[in-house]
Amino acid sequence: MTAHPRVLPDPAWAIGKHALMNLAVRLRNGRTEIDPSSWRIPYQWQGTHYQDNDDQPFLLLINSGGGFVEGDTAHLHATLDPGSRALITTTAASKFYKCPSGETSAEHITIAVGAGALLEYCPDEAIPFAGSRVLRRTRIDIAEDSRLFATDMISAGRIHYGRSGEAFDFHALDSEFVVNLDGVPLIIDRQMATQPDEVAALARMWDGACHQATVIIWGDLPEGIEDRIEQTLDGLGGVKAGASRQGRLLSCRILAAETWMCHEAIHEVWKHVRPALAGKPARLIRKC
């Protein structure tokens, strides 16, 4: 029996301001099932789907708040049984609204993937609105024989809002996307734009793109797949991307002009790796 430790709510957490979801991903009844061992609003539990019509549940995480108002915090904590497999995504982008009082809005994701388990974690993008202060922490722990497809996408803001948009108009973005292998850091994709010159430089750092994604893959992958991924991404308009491989680790960095272009690039990477990771093709995830 796998232990599924939970994050317990702090009594100081304000109701409605501090979301919490504890998930236990279990092997049961010949398939993987996800139990919400506890949750607090604005996270909502509405069950899972088996969109591939097999043993793998798809969880569409719902934050009924619609976004992060100043000072809002969310914690998602999940543990996958050894040998289980699950896909976790969101119903919509994580929108971080303006923080006029100087407070920070925060999102904490921690997922432990058991031995031989497969996690496909592909949330929608984070959108830091003008004037927002954003703290993001995503930590995924894997074992040597786990399999992982994990994405992290950040937009520059509400790109097409109003006449000129809101790109890179937030006050602070402190974002960390970490994958640990057997407790040791494998990838630390930490981006801190908390000073005015750092926020101002981001447009240059992203080479004029408005959306950025990181894709981290861990598993037994075919020879030369990184070359084929990069070749595919080269064929997408409005996208600049690279792929790099070290043994079982494959990382991709994607920069894109538009949201849909970034989503398409991520999906193309998934199409390449999913047959090797999950033994089945990638699919368009139904969210409605």
- For other proteins, the binding residues (CB under 8 A) are 176, 178, 184-193, 197-198, 201-202, 204-207, 209, 212, 214, 226-227, 230, 240-246, 251-255
Is-contact 55 34, C-beta < 8 A? no
Question: Among residues 34 and 209, whose Cβ is nearest to other proteins?
Answer: 209
* Inter-CA distances, 214 with 123, 150, 162, 187, Å: 12, 8, 28, 11
Question: Among residues 240 and 267, whose Cβ is nearest to other proteins?
Answer: 240
CB of 281 to other proteins, least distance (A): 25
Question: Among residues 113 and 229, whose Cβ is nearest to other proteins?
Answer: 229
Please choose, from the candidates 175, 167, 191, the residue with its C-alpha nearest in 3D space to the C-alpha of residue 134.
175
Both tokens of residue 124?
């929608």
Element (H or E) spanning 24, and its range? strand 18-28
Question: Among residues 92 and 187, whose Cβ is nearest to other proteins?
Answer: 187
* Inter-CA distances, 129 with 105, 149, 174, Å: 11, 27, 14
CB of 121 to other proteins, least distance (A): 18
CB of 201 to other proteins, least distance (A): 6
CB of 271 to other proteins, least distance (A): 19
